[in-house]
Amino acid sequence: MTFLAAAIQMAAASDKAANLERAERLLRLAAARGANLAALPEMFNWRGKRSEEAAAAEPLSGESISRMSRVARELQIHLVAGSIAERAPGQPRNYNTSVLIGPNGSILAAYRKIHLFDIDLPGRVTAHESDVKIPGTEIVNVPTALGMIGLTICYDLRFPELFRRLVFSGTQIITLPSAFTFPTGEAHWETLIRARAIENQVYMLAPAQFGPNPHGFNDYGNSMIVDPWGRVLARAADQEGVVIAPIDLDYQERVRRELPALSHARLRSEKV
């Protein structure tokens, strides 16, 4: 089975209406180019001051996911609605949540980011995601007409045990909506994505934010699609746009058959 997947690169800011309009335009472009699966970056609908995030957060039934559901239904595509700040009832903090939407517009799965990005690089980057976010606790994958899709978000990339558990439960395609900082992205983004693809023999679909962001540093961009052999099939330039590549599950099966490393695994942790 072969189909086309699209990774969408954006530079989202604090104007939610403009971000949603831009996301829809890019999704329409992806569908026009033949994509059956499209993925938006982390926090595609709003990026602003952390002090304003509570007001921008939404339930999954809110404006952003509802609009993406309508777009997926109209375009007849599977859509990973990047991630949004999902309001957690009764909590002062929100979840960072990625949503998989089917071609009929229904929500197939929602994944709440497990690993939150807290870092201090003096003079370069200070970010404390846990100040405004609650960590999730559950791994999420779901069978679809396009294969088994597993959901992750950004900083999760540094935790290979999560990807291993996804693959041992049948995942074939892993999505990674991201907003990697420039310093860490330049050093590790491609290396880690290719490593996760190679060691798990999966397709990695990694849409990202790029350019200056509201937190005072730059995002790396370089949205990419990587195959189970670790080849970069598509990479975005330093601008908003769409990159597309084929997902060939027959090829993936051949890679796994000819280099059966997954079946040789002796250690299978039960902990995330």
Residue 81 DSSP SS3: coil
User: Would residue 113 show up in a list of annotated catalytic residues for this protein?
Assistant: yes
Q: Taking the CA of residue 72 as centre, how many other CA atoms within 13 Å lie in the half-sphere pointing to its CB?
A: 26
The answer to whether the beta carbons of residues 5 and 31 sit under 8 Å apart is no
**Interior angle at CA 163, CA 159 and CA 168, nearest 5:** 140
| Catalytic member of 16, 58, 86, 113 | 113
The secondary structure element, H or E, covering residue 243 is strand 241-248
- To the query of whether residue 154 is one of the catalytic residues in this protein, the response is yes
Out of 53, 129, 133, 154, pick the active-site residue. Answer: 154
User: Is 16 in the active site?
Assistant: no
Which one of 16, 42, 58, 240 is the catalytic residue? 42
Amino acid in position 255: V
CB burial readout 72-90, b (16+ within 10 A) else e:
bbebebbbbbbbbbbbbee
Compute, in degrees rounded to 10, the torsion defined by CA atoms 100, 79, 162, 269: 60
**Catalytic positions:** 42, 113, 154
